């Protein structure tokens, strides 16, 4: 049995769930239509360029969670799953997850997107273990602040190391599937790094290092 680790956005999904949630909030009229859209698009571009200020991003991305009730957020998330996520779940990605499950591997998603967004997506994919950005909750409501180390770039490695230590597990025989050059630090740590529909920077790095490159797109 080995550990099979999956990035989520643009790996098992053909979309970025964080950006899609922002678009969904704009459609609901839940955020400022000009300032939020500009920030949502700018942060996505920064992420793709590898220049994202994760704390500045989270200050904006988590604020709507604090501005609406848990009941409203839950209702919105159901709509979001149906309209923005379900059409982007990659069939080949589900088959890949199923192959690792059939082998008896431990399945884990590690994502820089927050748990409010990704928890239900991981559940839909049948993956019980999730490392994500953790939004702070006080008295049953989100505060709009993150807690702990954000699972972004090197933060993914630190969060994974803590997760492994808590479970007395190792990375022996481990796999990691990702599309993004932002995940190089974690790809370097596993025994089987796999670039999935990679961005140009990751593709060049994977080709240089002889890493496997696959596509989960139709």
Stretch 159-179: mean pLDDT: 97
Looking at 103-153, list the stretches that DSSP marks H as alpha helix, in order from N- to C-terminal side. Answer: 115-124
CB environment 73-97: b (16+ within 10 A), e (fewer): beebbeebbeebbeebbbeebeebb
Which residue in this structure is represented by tokens 């500009």? Answer: 38
Rounded (to 5) percent helix, strand, coil in the chain: 50, 20, 30
Q: What is the CATH number of the domain that holds 189?
A: 3.40.50.1000
Q: Which of 7, 16, 105, 179 is catalytic?
A: 7
Q: Is the pLDDT of residue 174 over 80?
A: yes
pLDDT for 106 equals: 97
Measure the CA–CA gap between 99 and 175, rounded to whole angstroms: 13
Residue-wise pLDDT tens digits, 180-212: 999 999 999 999 999 999 999 999 999 999 999
The per-residue pLDDT of the chain, averaged, comes to: 97
Question: How many residues appear in the chain?
Answer: 218
pLDDT for position 218: 77
Q: 39: pLDDT confidence band, cut at 50, 70 and 90?
A: very high
Whether 9 sits among the annotated catalytic residues: the reply is yes
134 exposed, middle or buried (CB, 10 Å; 0-12, 13-18, 19+)? middle
Q: What percent of the chain has pLDDT over 90?
A: 99
Q: Which two tokens stand for residue 58?
A: 């989270």
Measured CA to CA, the distance from residue 115 to residue 130 in angstroms comes to 8
Query: What tokens were used for 2?
Result: 């080995």
Asked whether the beta carbons of 199 and 48 are under 8 A apart, the reply is yes
Residue 9: the pLDDT is 98
pLDDT at residue number 210: 98
Does residue 7 have an active-site annotation? yes
Q: How do residues 91-147 score in pLDDT, each as one tens digit?
A: 999 999 999 999 999 999 999 999 999 999 999 999 999 999 999 999 999 999 999
State how many domains the chain has.
1
Which pLDDT score, from 0 to 100, does residue 1 have?
A: 80
pLDDT mean over 69-95: 98
Dihedrals phi, psi of 189, to nearest 5 degrees: -90, -20
State which residues form the domain around 90: 3-214
Average pLDDT over residues 58-67: 96
Contacts of 15 (CB under 8 A, 6+ apart): 9, 84, 85, 88
Task: Reply yes or no on whether the pLDDT at 62 is more than 80.
Answer: yes
Choosing from 9, 16, 18, 183, which is the catalytic residue?
A: 9
């Amino acid at each position: 049995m080995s550990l099979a680790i999956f990035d989520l956005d643009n790996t098992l999904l053909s979309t970025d769930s964080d950006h899609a949630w922002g678009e969904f909030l704009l459609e609901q009229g839940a955020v400022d239509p000009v300032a939020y859209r500009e920030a949502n698009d700018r942060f996505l571009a920064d992420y793709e360029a590898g220049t994202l200020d994760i704390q500045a991003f989270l200050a904006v991305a988590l604020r709507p969670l604090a501005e609406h009730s848990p009941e409203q957020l839950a209702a919105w998330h159901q709509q979001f799953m149906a309209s923005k996520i379900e059409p982007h779940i990659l069939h080949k990605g589900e088959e890949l997850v199923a192959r690792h499950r059939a082998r008896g591997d431990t399945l884990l998603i590690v994502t820089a997107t927050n748990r409010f967004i990704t928890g239900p997506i991981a559940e839909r994919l049948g993956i019980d273990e999730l490392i994500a950005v953790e939004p702070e909750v006080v008295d049953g409501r989100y505060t709009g602040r993150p807690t702990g180390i954000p699972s972004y770039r090197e933060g993914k490695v630190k969060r994974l190391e803590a997760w492994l230590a808590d479970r007395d597990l190792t990375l022996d025989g481990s796999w990691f599937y990702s599309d993004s050059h932002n995940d190089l630090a974690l790809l370097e740590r596993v025994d089987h790094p796999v670039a999935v529909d990679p961005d140009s920077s990751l593709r060049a790095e994977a080709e240089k290092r002889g890493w496997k490159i696959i596509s989960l797109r139709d």
